[in-house]
Amino acid sequence: MRTLRNVLGAILALAGATAAVWSPFRIWYDGRHGRDYRIGELFTGTGVTEARAELFGSLFLPFAFAALVTLVGVVLRSRLLVAAAGVIVLGFTVLWMVRVGQAEGSLAVDGSNGGLGAGAGNALVGGVALLLAALLMAGRRGRRGRGGRRAEPAPRHGPYPESGPHEPDPYDTRPQDTRAQDTDPYGPGGPDPRAPDPYGETAPYPRPESPPPTPPGGPGGSAGPGGSAGPSGRNPSP
């Protein structure tokens, strides 16, 4: 539907621009063509005169510019540019009618050579067609996702904010010691050396404890105050 509106609006805009550009080559008023009116006379207080104008100094210039704006608007699918072209065409046409009525004293509207001709009518129709084309066009499609919703940027670090390894969860209602077990997989005492290896290897058996050291006097006695003890635990005679 959007593409169809743009196509129909583009066709109507091109038709309006063609009618506007063609209008200066037809009779506008009292047997004079639109290309015979000087564009500078539209901005003076005296109004139009009988002086003839060159092609690019006549009403052809603003209408050619409006046609160029229309082409750019159709290519870019810009409703604003097409509407601006319609305002240019209608604006210069109405201003010409005001200046002609000021110079002639009155403005006759009839189909004879003494009144408004087909050229002025083509310009009016072309300007209205450009405005209608701007309303009909759908314009350019914005950056939206599927379903007509604007696509939201993806979160940088996932849907939830990242937390540090030792940062407590504010929504965790468990006791503090239970939380410590979750953060440390081996518990508060560290890893068990006799626990089986998770990679399939069996931990070695712990070494046997060494016996306590033997006293200097041997296992059966101790040294006296005067010397070392013998094998029977008695002190030798002096």
| pLDDT tens track for 78-133 | 999 999 999 999 999 999 999 988 888 777 776 555 678 899 999 999 999 999 99
Among 3-17, 31-45, 131-145, 164-178, top mean pLDDT goes to 3-17
Higher pLDDT pick, 84 / 207: 84
Is the sign of the CA dihedral 114, 115, 116, 117 positive or negative?
negative
pLDDT at residue 227 above 50?
no
Give the model's confidence band at 35: pLDDT under 50 very low, under 70 low, under 90 confident, else very high.
very high
- Is the pTM higher than 0.75? no
To the nearest whole number, what is the mean pLDDT of the chain? Answer: 76
Residue 141 pLDDT class (50, 70, 90 cuts) = confident
Which 8-state DSSP code applies to residue 56? G
Higher confidence at residue 185 or residue 44? 44
Query: Is residue 159 scored above 70 in pLDDT?
Result: no
Contacts of 52 by beta carbon, 8 Å cutoff, 6+ apart: 36
Highest-pLDDT range among 17-21, 37-41, 158-162: 17-21
Residues 6+ apart with CB under 8 A from 132: 12, 16
Give domain limits for the chain. 2-136
| Coil, helix or strand at residue 104 | helix
DSSP state of 32: E
- Give 208's pLDDT tier (boundaries 50, 70, 90): low
User: pLDDT-derived band of residue 229, with 50, 70 and 90 as boundaries?
Assistant: very low
pLDDT at 49: 84
Quote the pLDDT of residue 117. 87
Residue 154 above 60 pLDDT? no
Say whether pLDDT at 209 is over 90. no
